Amino acid sequence: MNKLSGKTALVTGSSRGIGRATAIGLAREGALVAVHYAHNEQAAQETVELIEKDGGRAFRLGAELGVPGDIDQLFSGLEAGLREHTGKTTLDILVNNACETSATGTAPEDVSVEEFDRFFAVNAKAPFFIIQRALGLIPDGGRVINISSGLTRVANPSHTVYTMTKGAIEQLSRTFARHLAPRGITVNTVIPGITDNGNPVFKIPEAREQMSQLSAFKRIGEPEEVADVIVFLATDEARWITGAQLDASGGSLLG
């Protein structure tokens, strides 16, 4: 335990779902976690309280991504929070998890320019500029973990734009892994499959049954099962892994 004692982490989109489980997992290993959200301040506060109840340390940080000034707002809050809690602005672990998503998707014929731009702004452009800005705070030996989706391995027309953004983040990880290797900073991608993030769709028995069939284990993943993989990548035990894509999809679509 406490493999991340003395470390600091930012998990974007950690008010709920996989991000919340990741923030809790990192804090359980001793990291101080910046719990980031867009609008759901109450959910972010709940994440902070769950961490504190567990004996961990965290602070919440609101900043909508994909809008003008987003990166400045995120980093001014992050640096203030880090300074308040540690006296410095060092960021050891960055998890790019926040995303724009749509449960039902949109047929390619119906995608508007606005929808296309929004998905790319939140899911691809923001992670790039977050990494770019974070590089001034991340020390040698730091960690960057980007979250993709199992959809990059299949063709699902109704999620074309979302999947395009996740393809972009996979390439972003690979190129930054090479770029940052001289500093011992690892950059990896985690690829979740269908994971119960609390969305109402997971309460519909027929939908659950259908989604369960995609995994080799014939069930839906839990956020903690993806978070454990992310936390592992943040530890020293994963120091020899960079530029990798770790599948955390319960063997989805193995055939």
Nearer to ligand NAP, 122 or 168 (CB): 122
What percentage of the chain's residues is helix, strand, coil (to nearest 5)?
50, 15, 35
| Distance between start and end Cα atoms, the chain | 37
Angle among Cα 249, 23, 184 to the nearest 5 degrees reads 80
Q: Which of 7, 24, 48, 97 binds ligand NAP (CB under 6 A)?
A: 97
Nearer to ligand NAP, 10 or 18 (CB): 18
Nearer to ligand NAP, 66 or 142 (CB): 66
Sole window of 75-83, 98-106, 132-140, 238-246 interacting with ligand NAP (rule: CB under 6 A): 98-106
- Show the site string, 121-160: x = touches ligand NAP by CB under 6 A, - = not: -x------------------------x-xx----------
Q: Which of 3, 43, 135, 170 binds ligand NAP (CB under 6 A)?
A: 43
Q: Where do runs of H (alpha helix) occur along the chain?
A: 17-28, 41-53, 70-86, 113-120, 126-134, 160-180, 205-212, 223-234
Q: Which of 5, 39, 178, 254 binds ligand NAP (CB under 6 A)?
A: 39
DSSP secondary structure letter of residue 123: I
Active site (catalytic) residues: 162
> Could you give the CA distance from residue 240 to residue 63 in angstroms, rounded to a whole number?
33
